Amino acid sequence: MNTSSSDPSVTIPEGVTIGYRSRKLLGGSPETLLATAERQISLTPGRHLLLARNGRGKTTLLKTIARIIPSLEGEIGCDGTVQFVDEDLRFDNELKPKQIFAALFKNGQRAFAMEMAERIELDVNKPYGKLSKGNRQKVGLIVAEARTYGDGPHILLLDEPFSGLDFAAREKVDEIWKENNDHIVRIVCVHPDEPTLKADSALLIREGALEQLEVDGELDWMETKHSLN
């Protein structure tokens, strides 16, 4: 994962294959191949949706880009600081969001986190353990976004970030993303019922192939949904 003053980018060369290697211990398991890039995919600053049916490799692709797990073939190139934002991200139940932000950030980043919390209506004085699922997701989104504040380049890998948020919160997050779009590549894994489908492109996993679909501002989800195997 390289960082520089250039624009962020993710490059998935032709032939890159994602999945899981075979295991010889604990009874063993065979190699599992999930998807292969049939041609090079280049992602530049903006929002790129990641779409596939369950079990086809969405989270595996995000973890491979983040180098949490290795690819089966080839190597994905990243120019930027990479964050993998898991929907199951958790913080200490006793801490209040404002304490989490104070511990993680200073000055401008902390002020940004508090401002974003106000905009998306997060109660920063309520213990994390007493927050609803949606409000816990807000904390994770704020932490990820605040880490990108003030410098770049950055690559955010977001695994179903809107699953617990109501429509109003999604719209506010969308506004904030638009304001902080120039120095960030966002790859956003979305649920099949997700209504927020504004994007610069889409990554599809279907029939074992990973491909990029050009999008003119907003994806026609119903048309795309029927094309997924």
**For residue range 24-82, what is the model confidence (pLDDT) as tens digits?**
655 656 788 999 999 999 999 999 999 988 889 999 999 999 999 999 999 999 999 99
- Rg of the chain taking only CA atoms, in angstroms: 18
pTM: 0.88
CATH, domain range 10-227: 3.40.50.300
- Residue-range domain boundaries for the chain: 10-227
* 82-102 residue pLDDT tens: 999 987 778 999 999 999 999
C-alpha–C-alpha distance, residues 212 and 201, integer Å: 7
* 169-186 residue pLDDT tens: 989 998 999 998 889 999
Residue among 118, 194, 153 at smallest CA distance from 10: 153
- For Cα atoms 92, 162, 2, give the angle at the middle one, nearest 5 degrees: 75
Contacts of 146 (CB under 8 A, 6+ apart): 101, 104, 105, 109, 110, 112, 113, 116
* 117-173 residue pLDDT tens: 999 999 999 999 999 999 999 999 999 999 998 777 999 999 988 888 888 998 999
